């Protein structure tokens, strides 16, 4: 009797690398999952006393457990997401995504890049705000100076990773956001009625409140978004 065993190991998703504008999984970074595929083969041969030889080969035990493969383009993003990488905060690369959409659409677009909507502290928020101000177009400048209510302007604000959960606001990593009017919040926010509320970073049209967080209905106005690597 002969028994042969082959063992193959597949490394699951770990950290993220940025390649050609996409956040790609990097081997050995962050927490990964390892799956093992095991293939065993058993061969038996028997000879009869009548000089007739019969050989039988049986293969058993093909088992694949938890194997994972990222495949080509696993973090290439959604077509037309208009996301470009920029190093803004301490060498950390964020994705600046120009396509407008609902908060859930923005969340899905970030996840398609192995990223998430940005979870920010006040210092990071200020740095990203300053970077976004440099990207303002002539149209943005005109709108900002118009005096119109910017909450209805899709280019005035950017979705970030805060949303209302069970009546309170928290980041996508589960961390509670600061109370009303504190931290990075505008003095009157959050003030969204009802269970539906998502957070934007105000970039223009709010005067002294530029750079603050505001809560908005998650679907009423499609905004652009900021992603960060996981």
pLDDT of residue 124 exceeding 50, the answer is yes
Number of domains in the chain: 2
Look at residue 75 and tell me if it is in a domain. no
Beta-bridge mates of residue 94? 86
What pLDDT was estimated at residue 80? 83
Q: pLDDT for 164-189, tens place per residue?
A: 999 999 999 999 999 999 999 999 99
pLDDT exceeds cutoff 70 at 152: yes
213 and 134 in a common domain: yes
Q: What is the pLDDT of residue 21?
A: 52
Q: Residues 214, 114: one domain? A: yes
Q: What's the number of CA atoms in the CB half-sphere (13 Å) around residue 66?
A: 9
Per-residue pLDDT band for 2 (boundaries 50, 70, 90) equals: very low
Measure Cα distances from 92 to 20, 83, 88, 99, 183 in Å: 16, 16, 6, 22, 22
156 assigned to some structural domain: yes
Residue 76 lies in a domain: no
* Mean pLDDT across 198-221: 96
Q: What is the pLDDT of residue 46?
A: 40
Picking from 32, 65, 98, the residue at the C-terminal end of a domain is 65
Is 73 inside a domain boundary?
A: no
| Residue 56 · residue 44 · CB < 8 Å | yes
Same domain? For 38 and 120 the reply is no
Q: What is the CATH classification number for the domain harbouring 113?
A: 3.10.100.10
Summarised one tens digit per residue, pLDDT across range 68-94 is 334 447 898 888 889 999 998 887 899
Last residue of a domain, one of 65, 96, 120: 65
CA-based angle 136:112:72, to the nearest 5? 120
Q: Which of 98, 92, 149, 154 is nearest to 121 (CA)?
A: 92
Q: Is residue 70 part of a domain?
A: no
Task: Tell me the average pLDDT across 21-43.
Answer: 42
The domain boundary residue, chosen from 31, 65, 99: 65
Q: Mean per-residue pLDDT for 209-218?
A: 97
Sign of the dihedral defined by the CA atoms of residues 197, 122, 22, 229, in that order:
negative
Domain with 16 in it: 2-65
| Coil, helix or strand at residue 182 | coil
Spatial contact of 157 and 223, defined as CB atoms under 8 Å apart: yes
Residue 72 lies in a domain: no
Same structural domain for residues 137 and 195? yes
C-beta of residue 34 within 8 angstroms of C-beta of residue 10 = yes
How high is the pLDDT of residue 230?
86
Residues 59 and 87 in one domain: no
Residue range 54-73, pLDDT digits in tens: 444 333 333 333 333 344 47
| Whether residue 17 is found in the same domain as residue 100 | no
Q: Is residue 71 part of a domain?
A: no
Of 2, 28, 158, which Cα lies nearest the Cα of 13? 28
Would you say residue 123 has pLDDT above 90?
yes
Residue 59 near residue 149, CB atoms below 8 Å: no
Q: What confidence tier does 154 reach under pLDDT thresholds 50, 70, 90? A: very high
- Does one domain contain both 99 and 212? yes
Cis peptide before 24 (omega within 30 of 0): no
Neighbours of 26 (CB within 10 A): 17
Percent of the chain with pLDDT over 70: 68
Tokens of 116: 């998430």
Domain co-membership, 32 together with 122: no
Predicted pLDDT of residue 92: 87
Residues 141 and 209 in one domain: yes
CA atoms within 13 A on the CB side of 26: 13
Do 172 and 215 lie in a common domain?
yes
149 is a domain residue? yes
Q: Which residue has the higher pLDDT, 84 or 38?
A: 84
* Distance in angstroms (rounded) separating the CA atoms of residues 82 and 80: 5
Task: Please tell me the predicted confidence (pLDDT) of residue 90.
Answer: 81
CB 72 within 8 A of CB 24: no
Answer yes or no: do 130 and 194 share one domain.
Answer: yes
Same domain, 191 and 217: yes
Backbone angles phi, psi at 137, to 5 degrees: -90, 175
For residue 82, the model assigns a pLDDT of: 92
């Amino acid at each position: 009797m002969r028994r042969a065993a082959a063992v193959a190991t597949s490394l699951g998703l770990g950290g993220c690398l940025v390649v050609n504008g996409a956040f790609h999984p990097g081997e050995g970074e962050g927490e990964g999952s390892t799956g093992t595929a095991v293939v065993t083969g058993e061969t038996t041969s028997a000879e009869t006393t009548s000089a007739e030889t019969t050989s039988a080969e049986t293969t058993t035990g093909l088992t694949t457990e938890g194997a994972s493969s990222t495949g080509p383009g696993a973090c290439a993003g959604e077509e037309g997401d208009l996301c470009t990488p920029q190093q803004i905060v301490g060498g950390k690369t964020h994705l600046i995504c120009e396509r407008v959409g609902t908060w859930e659409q923005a969340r899905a677009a970030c996840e398609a890049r192995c990223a998430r909507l940005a979870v920010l502290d006040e210092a990071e928020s200020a740095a990203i705000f300053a970077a976004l101000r440099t990207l303002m177009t002539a149209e943005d400048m005109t709108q900002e100076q118009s005096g119109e209510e910017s909450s209805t302007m899709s280019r005035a604000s950017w979705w970030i990773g805060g949303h209302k959960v069970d009546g309170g606001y928290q980041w996508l990593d589960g961390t509670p956001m600061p109370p009303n009017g504190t931290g990075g919040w505008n003095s009157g926010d959050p003030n969204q009625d009802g269970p539906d509320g998502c957070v934007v970073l105000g970039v223009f049209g709010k005067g002294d409140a530029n750079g603050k967080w505001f809560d908005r209905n998650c679907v009423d106005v499609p905004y652009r978004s900021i992603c960060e690597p996981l």
